[in-house]
Amino acid sequence: MKKDIIIIGAGAAGIMAALKSSEKTENNITIIERNEKIGKKLYITGKGRCNITNAAEMDQWDKDIRRNYKFLYSAFAAFDNTALMNMLSKYGLKMKVERGKRVFPASDKASEVVHLFEKQLKRPNINIVYNERVIDIKCCNGYANKVVTDKKTYNCDSVIICTGGKSYPMTGSTGDGYELAKRLGHNIIKIQPALVPLLISDKMLNDLTGLTLKNVTLNAKKGKKIIYTDIGELLFTHFGVSGPLALSLSSSLGKNDIKDLDVYIDLKPGLTFEQLDSRVQRDFDKYKNKDLINALVDLMPKALIPIIIYRAGLSSSNKPNELTKQQRLSIVNVLKNFTLNITGLKPVEEGIVTRGGIDVKEIDAKTLRSKLISNVYFAGEIIDVDGLTGGFNLQIAFSTGFLAGMNA
């Protein structure tokens, strides 16, 4: 039986929903995209390289999906990371796996992924409408029958809403989908930033702007409870810290969790306190007659040295051979516990993904169909699900898009 399926949004979820639903050749699919091209956010994922997915076994993903992991069981069962990589390989994409099992196109070009999808969407039963914004979905007797844009009205048998969240609004993710869902009676879980840079108050750290620390451990505690710890990269900016570690920490926080939070960096996680002390002693023996600021050059980035010395309560002109044991241990302590005073998160518009969205209690997890409107489906970031960096969020979009497209 012929069905007219309207897909709102041509991001990762919308693209996959269209490809899957088009497998039934009797289906007539119309994608309505407010931008001038598909996959606008795909172009900027993975810093323009497109972190397609993560190659880790799916049964290990529970620690990386921070919101409503169980809700995604059916979506991942229908279309997991292996299925996605097999599909893209069939389309001709060569891929590579990097640190943390992150999967990228071998070319390091997100544009290659988008162009492959553009080619696949040129199917006889798929029509893409560009530069139109959906403003309403009309219903009759609990059934959506018309999709209204700022230019025309479309009849429909099913609607899949894949409008994304509220992060990176220049890509078209302006929160329109939440308003559409509200009008249909859906509850929207509070919208917050996830995978977003952190603000810090120590102005002295502004001197570190542009410095990237690699293979450091970022820790966060509330009282005695450790709420986050991981090893990786951290980037200092003019407002605070960014990079994979800071972004992942932000996903463990809400706006109300900043108070009384102790955040600190272990700059030398590969060494115990005692081993690091021995290393510092060796450097001090090597540079015993130099100023302290020049005696630490083998141990850390040059820009960091004055701050380490200051925090240890010492002077840059101190000589290593003049320091007491306690003063030396103060340096070691700062290196193992470099504190950051986190004052807040950057706004949701600057987050990689959005936390919150359509309440999963109002969506059938096995089909992604609305429990309120019988022929409306949701997929992607508009749903209240999100994960850490590493390809997890794109896989969520692809998997939910696939499941919604299969059932619509």
208 and 320 part of one domain: yes
Same-domain pairing of 142 and 210: no
Q: Say if residue 331 is in the same domain as residue 370.
A: no
Residue-wise pLDDT for 65-121, tens only, equals 989 999 999 999 999 999 999 999 999 999 999 988 999 999 999 999 999 999 999
Q: How far apart are CA 257 and CA 333, in angstroms?
A: 26
60 and 170 belong to one structural domain: yes
Q: Average pLDDT, stretch 33-47?
A: 91
Asked if 353 and 167 count as a contact pair (C-beta separation under 8 A), the reply is: yes
Residues 229 and 367 in one domain: no
Residue 255 has pLDDT above 70, yes or no: no
pLDDT above 90 for 170: no
| Same domain? 79 vs 180 | yes
Instruction: Specify the number of domains making up the chain.
Output: 2
* CATH number reported for the structural domain that contains residue 215 in this entry: 1.10.8.100
Interval 378-402: pLDDT, tens: 999 999 999 998 999 999 999 999 9
Query: What b/e sequence results for 99-117 when a residue is b if at least 16 CB atoms lie within 10 Å of its CB, and e otherwise?
Result: ebebbbbeeeebebbbebb
Q: Is the sign of the CA dihedral 342, 348, 352, 357 positive or negative?
A: positive
The rounded distance, in Å, linking the Cα atoms of 363 and 389 is: 25
Residue 234 and residue 169: Cα distance in Å, rounded?
Answer: 25
Residues 226 and 313 both lie in one domain: yes
Last residue of a domain, one of 314, 346, 378: 346
Same domain membership, residue 55 and residue 21: yes
Please indicate, yes or no, whether residues 260 and 307 belong to a single structural domain of this protein: yes
pLDDT at position 172: 66
Q: Which of 325, 346, 367 is the last residue of a domain?
A: 346
Give the domain extent around 138: 3-193+349-407
Give the pLDDT confidence of 315-348 residue by residue, as tens digits: 999 999 999 999 999 999 999 999 999 998 888 8
pTM, whole model, 2 decimals?
0.87
Same domain, 10 and 143: yes
50 with 154, same domain?
yes
Residues 358 and 341 occupy one common structural domain: no
The CATH number of the domain holding residue 105 is 3.50.50.60
